[in-house]
Amino acid sequence: MKMRSMVFAAHFVVAGVVQSAVTHACGFENPQTIALGSLNWIYPDALHVRAAVWRAEDNGFLPPAGVTDASGPLAFYRAASAVKKLGTKLADWLPVETGMGMSVVLIPQVMWTRLEVGPEGLTVQSHAEGPRDGDLVIVTEEKVVRALVNGKLDSETAEITGLLRFYGDPEEIANVRAALAKTDPAERTPSFAFPRR
């Protein structure tokens, strides 16, 4: 009887150790951490956007962390809506005959939205799995997209200060830069107001 009790107790101790190891896995198993690491590997320096956002928050160009940040389903819909609004503004100024595809990835969530501008207008695929081959990729954060859409930040300042990064064909990047410039507010945000890096 004592032997059976000891085996039973040993079983619970081992199960408890294994369970706590599974429950408290390190950050290397965190899917978001893996996705961010992969993103930065495929798109070098993509994560520099995060540091640029922190500097912009510190200097008052973007709302402080936590003020507009939220989680859950409403946060997803708010982010998807902001990217769609940005896509709509871009679609008015991009050449439709090219059928240009862009993928916007918001960090730190690594939420992809695919935008395609063609003769039928703008096609938006929120929560896409990633970019398609040949897509221009834009890496940024949601609050940067909202500031661009609301006219509180101009695209040139966003790019110069690292809040917005482009990856892809240089000609397509030039087209998107030109389209973004046409959507900018009349008054430019002084880019000298906070350091680039």
Instruction: Give pLDDT tens digits for 74-107.
Output: 888 899 999 999 999 888 888 776 678 999 999 9
The per-residue pLDDT for 55 is 94
Evaluate whether residue 109 is within a structural domain: yes
pLDDT at residue 19 greater than cutoff 80: no
Evaluate whether residue 38 is within a structural domain: no
Sign of CA dihedral 106, 45, 152, 178: negative
pLDDT at residue 12 greater than cutoff 70: no
Sign of CA dihedral 63, 67, 71, 74: negative
Looking at the DSSP assignment, which residues form a beta bridge with residue 101?
116
Q: What is the pLDDT of residues 110-148, one digit of tens each?
A: 999 999 988 888 889 998 999 999 999 999 999 999 999
Structure tokens at 55: 């500097």
The residue range of the domain holding 56 is 43-193
The per-residue pLDDT for 14 is 45
Evaluate whether residue 24 is within a structural domain: no
Evaluate whether residue 165 is within a structural domain: yes
Evaluate whether residue 67 is within a structural domain: yes
The per-residue pLDDT for 111 is 93
DSSP state of 189: P
Domains: count for the chain: 1
Evaluate whether residue 74 is within a structural domain: yes
CATH number at residue 93: 3.30.1050.10
Q: Are 103 and 138 within 8 A, CB to CB? A: yes
Evaluate whether residue 28 is within a structural domain: no
Of 139, 176, 142, nearest to 156 by C-alpha is 176
Evaluate whether residue 37 is within a structural domain: no
Cα separation, 106 vs 196, in Å, equals 20
Find the mean pLDDT for residues 143-159.
Answer: 93
